[in-house]
Chains A and B, each alone.
Chain A
Amino acid sequence: MFRNNYDNDSVTFSPQGRIFQVEYALEAIKQGSAAVGLRSKTHVALVALKRNAEELGSYQKKIIPIDKHLGVALAGLSPDARVLSNFMRQQSMASRLLYKRPVPVARVVNAIADKAQVNTQHYGKRPYGVGLLIAGVDETGPHLWEFQPSGQILEYFGAAIGARSQSARTYLERYFESFPDVSRDELVVHGLKALRDTLQQDRELTTDNTSIAIIGIDEDWKQYDGPKVKRFLDLLGEDGTRSQRAARMDTAVDVGGEGEDDDELAALLGPQEGTSAMDTTE
């Protein structure tokens, strides 16, 4: 009757040493639209692609502010992200009340990781079905973390989660070495370019479907949605139109990742890095 006897709960290992419920939760992230995060020496940016269930409906929120110095982008089940972000807001308020200190990013990320891990070890619980990119600034500078329902957390220079996010990761892997010194706006543009690579052929980044958030060492959380996104989309320039992108993608496929704007990084990365476009999704 059951094809797989080892995926009924999140406490049972398969004989191969896997916990299927946790792996299914990781699949839920890939069902969600993409979110990209990246970090410079001074800023962290989150960009995300919003989806609407139907033409007449509103777009699902992808970026949730937690505090002046902290926020998340999500991919997967947004109600689960609300639960986690509400918890992070509580942690943040507790830290401000008790110590008058903005909560250190790593601490609050560890706290949600512990919460998520518990769900993989207790019968009758289910893992969270959402992945988060956590962007924040604290005493030790700007930080970007990735959270997974398995309870795994990792810190990144650049990260992408959600549907077709491998394309964005490929973009980030090519360019990340230039990120530390780029300006605030350039960082966002890099994020948008990475996000753009996750789009299907007939889609474009618009003011409706794009969400942007940015925090810096001397800059509180700022979020851009709707018309306010236009300024950043304009910075993408001509390169941002559908036909330009299609042309770029074609050349990328043909010559293994040498786009028209790849000159300086080809020099930077050397020849072997071009193959990263062919990496398989994990």
Chain B
Amino acid sequence: MNQFPHGWGRPRDDVYGAYDASYLNSTEPVTHTQRPIVTGTSVLGVKFKDGVIIAADNIASYGSLARYDNVERLLQVGTHTVIGAGGDISDMQYLHLLLDNLLIREQYPADDHHLYAPQVHTYLSRVLYQRRNKFDPLWNSILTAGADPKTSEPFLSYVDLRGTTFSAPALATGFGAHLAVPILRRYVPDDAAAEALTQEDAEKLVEECMKVLWYRDARSGVTYSWAVIKKDGVETGNKKIENQSWKFAEMIKGYGAQNI
């Protein structure tokens, strides 16, 4: 008889042998995501007069290798929202799964209540912040773009792997935050400027920024997806960067075989 309380209710060691707890302790420590593996680069978003435009290229890089060139990084969520994700592609795909399931659940009551961009953005921020508090973050930075179907009010907001959120009339993630935002802000410094911006100008602006990124961001791609969200819904498409000029490259020295 084992007199120690910790042995009560357990198989007796003298009959069954000591409990083999080895499988409980794996030889490796528990690990969490510590770096992204297959990554997407920038996402751009700009508010304009009666909507938002969002764009992201189709490259998924494995380190510096452009491993896949046909990855869709924009996802339409419901009728008036599009999210664009940079960072780890598999984490992005997991978020797409979460959002798909969320949307299906939201349809069940069929009660005329829908999730729009502000709700989707808040949901994403909660998920990302919860994961960062588990020290197992989803390694993404995400733009949520949408328009209110009643008021036509555009919505554009950012959330990243730490759960940090902020909002601005023009936003970009990743390298775009360094290369595209200064250009975007020249045209859309504040909400008033966004309200004055036409859709055509907004599209041109995004096109220009995607071109700058194609020139200067070595993880970017030549094809990209775009989406325009307005009162009546979402319009999407694909584009290729045209009228390229690499003349400036002739000036660059110090790389590769060159006779100085």
Residue positions of A touching B, CB distance < 8 A? 97-101, 104, 106-107, 110, 138-140
Contacts and interface: CB of A to CB of B under 8 A. Distances in A.
Contacts of B126: 97-98
Nearest to B122: A100
A104 B113 contact: yes
5 contacts: A98-B123, A99-B115, A99-B119, A104-B111, A107-B113
A110 B118 CA distance: 24
A4 B111 CA distance: 42
B163 to A, nearest CB: 13
A100 B109 contact: no
Contacts of A98: 122-123, 126
Nearest to B150: A139
A101 B102 CA distance: 15
Nearest to B127: A98
B109 to A, nearest CB: 6
B242 interface: no
Contacts of B122: 98-101
A104 B108 CA distance: 14
B112 interface: yes
A107 B108 CA distance: 11
A134 to B, nearest CB: 15
A56 to B, nearest CB: 47
A268 to B, nearest CB: 30
A106 B115 CA distance: 15
A101 B119 CA distance: 7
Nearest to A97: B126
Interface of B: 109, 111-113, 115, 118-119, 122-123, 126
A139 B149 CA distance: 12
Contacts of A104: 109, 111, 113
Contacts of A139: 112-113
A140 B112 contact: yes
A166 to B, nearest CB: 31
Contacts of A106: 109, 111, 113
Contacts of B112: 139-140
Nearest to B119: A99
A138 B126 CA distance: 23
Contacts of A140: 111-113
A97 B130 CA distance: 12
Contact of A110 (B109, B115, B119): B109
Q: Which of A99, A100, A104, A106 has most chain B Cβ within 10 Å?
A: A99
Contacts of A97: 126
Contacts of A100: 118-119, 122
A104 B111 CA distance: 9
B113 A99 contact: no
A143 to B, nearest CB: 10
A186 B119 CA distance: 36
Contacts of B111: 104, 106-107, 140
Contacts of A110: 109
Contacts of B113: 104, 106-107, 138-140
Q: Which of B109, B112, B113, B118 has most chain A Cβ within 10 Å?
A: B113
B165 to A, nearest CB: 11
A36 B118 CA distance: 36
A104 B122 CA distance: 17
A81 to B, nearest CB: 24
Contacts of A107: 109, 111, 113
B12 to A, nearest CB: 37
A200 B231 CA distance: 56
Contacts of B115: 99
B106 to A, nearest CB: 10
A275 B128 CA distance: 62
